[in-house]
Structure 1
């Protein structure tokens, strides 16, 4: 009997081993075939992009230059003018969410600036019910007075909505209410919204973002501040190798903008996000397969999957709100996130909703099934105009990033502008983020956080001058919040 048992165990082990070998062999074959197919389509889209009008490249995530965003807006305005019809601005909105009085003051400042910049879009403030119904009388009255100031700015444009906070239980961090931001995906009465974090300064009209290509349902800048010099060099080397020469961004922009003016498809001609910033090896097929953890698009980041070097920032987002997306967030994401540590708004957006690696995986699988019916849904916005951190102004390492903001590409229409003042002048939206410097409203006066150059070097002086101008602007503008 003992002999039979051992024999059965050996047979069982042999069967399991054969099964495992077959499984691994099959997976290796699938990876090889997928790799071959990926290379085929990469070559196809590179070679034939000028003659492709109804098929989108599924293997890339595209970066859209500011000049092209503006060209699309100008084209839309010209189209409306030729038809003697105006843009239906009631279908578009800038959106803030607010859980604390200090942030509500900054919302007033942002909306006032947007109104002065002559936007015709709606200005929507999602304000916490805990704030407007607070048991703290001073807090409640402050909120009421600031809401009144909001409404006075532009009664025909400002919309105030009272919302319930989404709070992580047993979380004492400053971000415990940050999941409330996900309510912006529920603003389905609008065709497209521009979400703005309220702890930031608005410097220019951003209406052009409403007119990104219609197939784009989500667009945002990237977290460029996580990148190292070696990451940037690897990205540049990848782009050079793909084109056998240094790519002149100015030529790409001019070519794409010509297509905009002709009403031609631009997606396949846009600069790509270098794969070295998303994947961790040259075996893209294997990484695409490994990026799947569930059939549901809302569970995109598998356990053990290495994070891309960059991800979407959630400080500014262009969103096409959809009921289905928000219902899935409520039903599947929030119940899990509320119980997990270190899972906040930016983590859910990047790990579950818009994970870069998983997006390429899903795009490719859809393309294989649908071909010409496939359309991409995401796009990368330039961070200098729409996602600059105030800390970058004092960071010498970010100077090249600001001058070459399309990652992997060198130069551009603004490449000759080398001074801090000129680079930052292009920024339309600057996020107050300067650790260990706190948010500006936590200081009694500007002198407490003012930048002083460490040397007499002209560069040091200019950096401090530009940085100080951003924070002085806050001090000069907050008079509107005086009660």
Structure 2
């Protein structure tokens, strides 16, 4: 997609980049899927992947999936690999002292503020499907950050979602955000539902000053197809049409709690209870008007097919040592 006032053929694309971060093999595969979509959709911006310092490009054996996937990102998708210290924030478990605690590493996406050689970067979560080219976002009016609103949390809160963030890198902001992250990690800042600490940090600093992106293009979640009340997505008077909604969206984020993410197969009983309901005679042999369910399942099936194809077992050789 172009903009009338900008000739994309004359843009210096070395000034712009998409960023991802991955801290496990699972999320590394997801990041490569995002880069694959950007490539397929004709994005011209550069690509950066932040990953743990201990990862390397030396394939030890056929089971060394992380090194294989890193090589794929570098060689096939022209991704610049950026090792960083991944700082986790301890998430206290539910279920009492015997329950196992986990770590939230979402603050790693704040590293995107530190790539100051770029005029602007777009950070995307990697549990989503990119549907259309989004390079136009690099040319927004001047702003430190732009994000869509987490419309699914309305009317209880009007916070912004960090599933997509258009960022103007800055050492000053990067330093300040790292300090904010340290405050969250030490418990000086309250918890946010679903342990999205990066959202908490970004909203705390920019919630009142960020540019708000239209969520219909840049913030659609799969959970919207499970609802019957779409007023917070559409507005009061608009009519819901799942095909039209999907055609307008630049991305769709997989969010259907308590159903798992698309790389985890659904428990069948849970799926039957939580999948989108048909409009007429739901749950009966005569049910009809099931387009919401069809679109929703197609999104998950597409993700799984692409994941199997893109992240299949590789046979990259170990790099020749000098």
Same fold per TM (> 0.5)? yes
Residues 136-157 of structure 1: CA deviation (Å, up to 9, x unaligned): x8998211111112123233xx
Aligned residues: 289
Q: Where does residue 89 of structure 1 map in the other structure?
A: 13
1:355 is the counterpart of 2:207: yes
Q: Where does residue 30 of structure 2 map in the other structure?
A: 106
> Helix, strand or coil: the match of 2:66?
helix
The 3 A distance-change label for structure 1 pair 311 and 472 is same
Q: Where does residue 432 of structure 1 map in the other structure?
A: 254
Q: Within 5 A, what are the aligned runs for 1:68-87?
A: 73-77=3-7, 86-87=10-11
> Helix, strand or coil: the match of 2:122?
strand
Q: Of 193, 199, 206, which aligns to 2:121?
A: 193
* CA shift for structure 1 position 421: 1.3
* CA shift for structure 1 position 335: 2.7
- In the aligned structure 1, how far is the partner of 2:113 from the partner of 2:37? 24
> Helix, strand or coil: the match of 1:465?
helix
| TM-score, normalised via structure 2 length | 0.81
| TM-score, normalised via structure 1 length | 0.55
Q: Residue 192 of structure 1 contacts residue 321 of structure 1 at CA under 8 Å; is this kept in 2?
A: yes
- In the aligned structure 2, how far is the partner of 1:426 from the partner of 1:381? 14
The 3 A distance-change label for structure 1 pair 447 and 475 is farther
Q: Where does residue 250 of structure 1 map in the other structure?
A: none
Q: Residue 151 of structure 2 contacts residue 233 of structure 2 at CA under 8 Å; is this kept in 1?
A: no
The 3 A distance-change label for structure 1 pair 147 and 419 is same
Aligned-CA RMSD value: 2.9
Q: Where does residue 17 of structure 1 map in the other structure?
A: none
The answer to which structure has the higher helix fraction is 1
1:217 is the counterpart of 2:70: no
Q: Residue 99 of structure 1 contacts residue 127 of structure 1 at CA under 8 Å; is this kept in 2?
A: yes
Q: Of 290, 299, 311, which aligns to 1:481?
A: 311
* CA shift for structure 1 position 176: 2.0
- In the aligned structure 2, how far is the partner of 1:103 from the partner of 1:76? 34
Q: Residue 226 of structure 2 contacts residue 277 of structure 2 at CA under 8 Å; is this kept in 1?
A: no
> Helix, strand or coil: the match of 1:397?
coil
The 3 A distance-change label for structure 1 pair 401 and 355 is closer
> Helix, strand or coil: the match of 1:123?
strand
Higher relative contact order (CA 8 A, sep 6+): 1
Q: Within 5 A, what are the aligned runs for 1:406-417?
A: none
> Helix, strand or coil: the match of 1:441?
coil
Q: Residue 403 of structure 1 contacts residue 423 of structure 1 at CA under 8 Å; is this kept in 2?
A: no
Q: Where does residue 199 of structure 2 map in the other structure?
A: 346
> Helix, strand or coil: the match of 1:159?
strand
Q: Residue 225 of structure 2 contacts residue 242 of structure 2 at CA under 8 Å; is this kept in 1?
A: yes
> Helix, strand or coil: the match of 1:396?
coil
The 3 A distance-change label for structure 1 pair 174 and 435 is farther
> Helix, strand or coil: the match of 2:117?
coil
1:120 is the counterpart of 2:40: no
* CA shift for structure 1 position 403: 3.1
Q: Of 153, 178, 184, which aligns to 1:337?
A: 184
Residues 215-273 of structure 1: CA deviation (Å, up to 9, x unaligned): 22211000111114xx8xxxxxxxxxxxxxxxxxxxxxxxxxxxxxxxxxxxxxxxxxx
* CA shift for structure 1 position 169: 4.8
Q: Where does residue 316 of structure 2 map in the other structure?
A: none
